[in-house]
Structure 1
């Protein structure tokens, strides 16, 4: 088993676990970001798959062309529920040379980029708090 690691993001207080990724459409014709990677927050408090900003979902990747016929909702900490747009999409982890077909989700005015339990529970991910390091284990 190979281990691919990233330092926690200092953009959060306290620092938070992330995985550096690229998002792609199911046909791999569009990607975001176009150069480099984007930090995907590891968030076991979110029960969905992969939540991305609505501007990335709607404009950068045009995932409205790939909407899944499901009714899904996100419940905010305030208790308010909002409908989710759900699409098939690919999460690429360049460091691990992996492309994972999964569900990409968003809601109106979403600005978050995070991996929820439905995505995380499929993989071995180590959180080393004292070292502030996230490691993804893959074959």
Structure 2
């Protein structure tokens, strides 16, 4: 399910490591913020990254430019994000860096999706193209 939470677009998702049978959360779903200011696919807290055992895969290091102009180094690998409703599954680069406390989905996640963000009607919708 996707909706606006206090004006912030959020999606109920599940994260998966496609190489080992790990998912987060183990049951149910977790909220992720959709942020068009983030150019990547998915940014997750370090504990989530470890729970998925993504830290055991071959990692790639990237530099992220933060809103204040500073640079943070992230490490990541490929994984899967599933939106439970409407049943969309996307593969992409899942990364982590220090001091991240929420799951963020960015522009790379939205590629191949139709995203409708209508603040007038208080509607946020994500569908496959």
User: What TM-score do the two structures reach when normalised by structure 1?
Assistant: 0.83
The CA distance in 2 between the partners of 1:61 and 1:128, in whole Å, is: 33
Matched, 1:88 2:78: yes
CA drift at 1:42: 1.1
Structure 1 unaligned blocks of 5 or more: none
1:48 to 25, 40, 60: 40
2:32–2:102 Cα contact (<8 Å) kept = no
Name the counterpart of 1:61: 52
Matched, 1:114 2:110: no
The CA distance in 1 between the partners of 2:3 and 2:100, in whole Å, is: 25
Matched, 1:125 2:115: yes
2:40–2:109 Cα contact (<8 Å) kept = yes
Runs of 4+ in structure 1 off by over 3 angstroms are none
Structure number having the greater strand percentage: 2
Count of residues in correspondence between the two structures = 129
User: Residues 35-55 of structure 1: CA distance to partner in whole angstroms, max 9, x if unpaired?
Assistant: 211111110011111111111
The CA distance in 2 between the partners of 1:39 and 1:67, in whole Å, is: 27
CA drift at 1:19: 1.5
RMSD over aligned Cα atoms = 1.7
1:6–1:19 Cα contact (<8 Å) kept = yes
CA drift at 1:28: 5.4
